[in-house]
Amino acid sequence: MIARMLLAVFTLALGFAPADSAAQRAPARPAVAGEVRMSELPPEARETLELIRKGGPFPYAKDGAVFGNREGALPREKRGYYREYTVKTPHVRNRGTRRIIWGAGGEYYYTADHYNTFRRIHE
């Protein structure tokens, strides 16, 4: 028992996670899952892209808000690098699940499932 406790202390002190840690049990969040051509996007997404490029006006108050990338699915950047914009979903009264994320470097990402998967928009 003492040997097990000492092993745990040394393991943690050296920065190793125990074999049954939550970090090792949790499934890895996928990174950007490929690309999508602009022509393959729904028409509402193409309209949103055009609004982003023109600087608005945007139909939703949260459009242009900082996207924190808390899930870590997009490349890691400083806070404020990414902005999110709503893509209208026909027949839905709320904002729905579709978004375009704009990166300050000029890249765009599309998610149809509220940040679960992202595809980089290829023009």
Give pLDDT tens digits for 59-100: 999 999 999 999 899 999 999 999 999 999 999 999 999 999
Say which CATH number the domain at 72 has: 3.10.450.30
**77, 84, 107, 122: the active-site residue:** 84
Confidence of residue 15 (pLDDT cuts 50, 70, 90): very low
- Within a domain: residue 17? no
- Within a domain: residue 57? yes
The pLDDT of 103-109, averaged and rounded, is: 97
Q: How far apart are CA 78 and CA 103, in angstroms?
A: 11
Which amino acid is located at 21 in the chain?
Answer: S
**35, 71, 77, 114: the active-site residue:** 114
- Within a domain: residue 19? no
Pairing of strands 35-37, 119-122: parallel
Q: How far apart are CA 102 and CA 109, in angstroms?
A: 7
Which amino acid is located at 46 in the chain?
Answer: R
Give pLDDT tens digits for 37-68: 999 999 999 999 999 999 999 999 999 999 99
- Within a domain: residue 48? yes
- For 63, the domain range is 29-122
Whether 35 and 119 have beta carbons less than 8 Å apart is answered as yes
Residue 71 falls in the annotated catalytic set: no
- Within a domain: residue 75? yes
Residue 77 falls in the annotated catalytic set: no
pLDDT surpasses 60 at 23: no
Integer angstrom CA distances of residue 18 from 2, 3, 76: 16, 15, 26
pLDDT surpasses 70 at 123: yes
